[in-house]
A and B are shown apart, each in its own frame.
Chain A
Amino acid sequence: QSVLTQPPSVSAAPGQKVTISCSGSSSNIGNNFVSWYQQLPGTAPKLLIYDDNKRPSEIPDRFSGSKSGTSATLGITGLQTGDEADYYCGTWDSSLSAVVFGGGTKLTVL
């Protein structure tokens, strides 16, 4: 049971937009920055979004992050088959004094 809750899977057609939610509490998302990671099949996680909504320079602007209260959202527009991956949210939990991750969401581009 993960501290952060994500849907197990989402799907959309190529070219479409998809959002992935990450739900937490005031001890984690509500008071700490959220990051998102993309894990392509058989590879290590890659930082996609940090500080709720910032992108590393190499990440295309098709990827975006937002946060409201104790929930965060990853958005991906112009879906490509190469976006098929597992996506994880992560943050610090001040009550647990631990880095916590969501359970991951598998994105399928139909």
Chain B
Amino acid sequence: QLQLQESGPGLVKPSETLSLTCTVSGGSISRSDFYWGWIRQPPGKGLEWIGYTSYSGNTYYNPSLKSRVSISVDTSKNQFSLKLSSVTAADTAMYYCARRFYDSSGYYSPFDYWGQGTLVTVSS
């Protein structure tokens, strides 16, 4: 059974860079048909897609966040990471990592496996 687990600082100062890691267990991150992504949810609000990447480095970012976001994969640790720069209070949210898959016909699945989430607060 695939499992995803987020980790990282729960408190980040304004203007700094938010860095989170998602550790994947129960399966390999190095499959060409998997995409690894991040979704966030501000307290009491809805879901917002941040972006996703394949292990080979094909990345897709939310245009509204693209200038501040970077998602990368570390196959040696079976992990992938999120970096969000120049954070403000508006970036305070629960951050979820998740998986989707892709097939050669161009089909993308929805996010079928999710981590439990980690709360990040932006405050001085």
Residues of A that sit less than 8 Å from B by CB: 2, 33, 35, 37, 43-47, 50, 56, 88, 90, 92, 96-104
Report the number of A-B residue pairs with Cβ-Cβ less than 8 Å.
48
Within 8 A of A (CB), among B83-124: 96, 108-112, 114-117
Q: Cβ of B110 and Cβ of A35 under 8 Å apart?
A: yes
Residues of B that sit less than 8 Å from A by CB: 39, 46-49, 60, 62-64, 96, 108-112, 114-117
Q: Cβ of A90 and Cβ of B108 under 8 Å apart?
A: no
Q: List 9 A-B contacts (CB under 8 A).
A: A37-B47, A44-B114, A44-B115, A46-B114, A47-B112, A97-B60, A98-B49, A99-B49, A103-B46
Q: Cβ of A50 and Cβ of B49 under 8 Å apart?
A: no
Contacts of A50 in B (CB 8 A): 109-110, 112
Q: Cβ of A90 and Cβ of B110 under 8 Å apart?
A: yes
Q: Cβ of A47 and Cβ of B49 under 8 Å apart?
A: no
A34: shortest Cβ distance to chain B, in Å?
Answer: 9
Which residue of the partner chain A has the closest CB to B61? Answer: A98
Q: Cβ of A90 and Cβ of B63 under 8 Å apart?
A: no
B77: shortest Cβ distance to chain A, in Å?
Answer: 22
Query: A37-B47, A44-B96, A101-B47 are known contacts; what are 7 more A-B pairs with Cβ within 8 Å?
Result: A35-B110, A43-B116, A44-B117, A45-B114, A47-B112, A100-B49, A103-B46
